[in-house]
A and B are shown apart, each in its own frame.
Chain A
Amino acid sequence: MTYEEQLAAIAMRDERLIVMTAENHAAIRNLPTILGDRFIDVGIAEQTMIGAAAGLALRGRVVIVHALAAFLTMRAFEFIRTDVGIADLPVIMVGGVPGILSDGNGPTHQAIEDVSIMRGIPNVQVFCPADATDLEIGLPHIIASGHPCYIRFTSDVATVAHNSKFHIGRSEVVCGPAQGLRDVTILTYGTMMRYAVEAASMLEAEGICVQVTNMRTLKPVDVQRIVDAAQSSDLVVTIEDHFRTGGLYSIVAETLLDHTITAHVLPIGFGDQWFRPARLSEVLVHHELTGLALARRIISALDEYPMLPQHELSIATHGSTQH
Chain B
Amino acid sequence: MDLKPLDRPLLSARALRVREHILNMSTDGGCFTGASLSCTDLLVFLYEHVLNIRPDTVSDVNRDYLLLSKGHDVPALYGLFAEIGMIDPQRLRNHLRSTDSIYWHPNRSVPGVEFHSGSLGHLLAVGIGIALDIKLRGGTNRVFVVLGDGELNEGSVWEACWTAVAKKLDNLIVMIDRNHFQANARTEELIPLDPIDAKFKAFGWNAFNVDGHDMDALHAVFSTALTGATRPTVVIASTLRGSGVPSIQERADRWFCNFTHEEVASLINELHGAEQTTLTSETMVVR
Contacts and interface: CB of A to CB of B under 8 A. Distances in A.
Q: Is the interface of B mostly helix, strand, loop or mixed?
A: helix
Contact of A47 (B115, B133, B159, B162): B159
Interface range for B: 20 to 34
Nearest to B117: A82
Interface stretch (A34-42, A272-280, A315-323): A34-42
A51 B128 contact: yes
A61 interface: yes
A32 interface: no
B129 A47 contact: no
Contacts of B123: 51
Contact of B129 (A45, A58, A82, A86): A58
Contacts of B116: 82, 86-87
Contacts, number: 90
B92 interface: no
Contacts of B127: 55
B131 A55 contact: yes
Contacts of A48: 125, 128, 156, 159-160, 163
A55 B128 contact: yes
A53 B129 contact: yes
Contacts of A45: 159-160, 163
A19 to B, nearest CB: 13
Contacts of A83: 115, 122, 125-126
B209 to A, nearest CB: 26
A54 B163 contact: no
Nearest to A36: B136
Contact of A59 (B122, B133, B156, B159): B133
Contacts of B108: 87
B154 to A, nearest CB: 9
B33 to A, nearest CB: 25
Given A58-B114, A82-B122, A37 B136 contact: yes
A42 B132 CA distance: 11
Contacts of A79: 122, 125, 156
A14 to B, nearest CB: 14
B130 A51 contact: no
Interface in A40-97: 40, 42-43, 45, 47-61, 78-79, 82-83, 86-87
A47 B125 contact: yes
Interface in A258-285: none
A56 B122 contact: no
B126 A51 contact: yes
Contacts of A58: 114-115, 126, 129-130
B198 interface: no
Most A Cβ at <10 Å: residue of B121, B123, B126, B130 = B126
A51 B160 contact: yes
Interface in A77-129: 78-79, 82-83, 86-87
Contacts of B126: 51-52, 54-55, 58, 83
B57 to A, nearest CB: 15
Contacts of A51: 122-126, 128-129, 156, 160
A45 B162 CA distance: 10
Interface in B106-156: 108, 114-116, 119, 121-137, 156
B3 interface: no
21 contacts: A37-B136, A38-B136, A48-B163, A50-B125, A51-B122, A51-B125, A51-B126, A51-B128, A52-B128, A52-B163, A54-B129, A55-B125, A55-B127, A55-B129, A56-B129, A58-B129, A59-B61, A59-B133, A59-B137, A60-B133, A83-B115
